[in-house]
Amino acid sequence: MSRLLLPIDHGPRAVDEPARAALLHDLRRLPRRAQQVFLLNRLDQLTFAQIAERLNLPLTRVEQLMIEALHSTSAKPLAVNAQATRWYIRLQSPAATACERIDFRRWLDASPVHLQAFHATELHWRSLLAPARELGDQGWYRTGRAAFSLGGCSLALGLGAAALLAFGLWSSGV
Mean pLDDT computed over every residue of the chain: 81
User: In 10 A of CB 154, how many CB atoms?
Assistant: 10
Q: What is the pTM of this model?
A: 0.70
For position 143, what pLDDT does the model report?
81
Average pLDDT over residues 26-52: 94
pLDDT range class, residue 134, cuts 50, 70, 90: very high
Cβ pair 38, 27 in contact under 8 A: yes
What CA–CA distance (Å, rounded) separates 71 from 158? 37
Contacts with 81 (C-beta within 8 Å, 6 or more apart), sequence order: 74, 117, 120, 121
pLDDT for residue 4 is more than 60: no
Q: Which residue has the higher pLDDT, 92 or 153?
A: 92
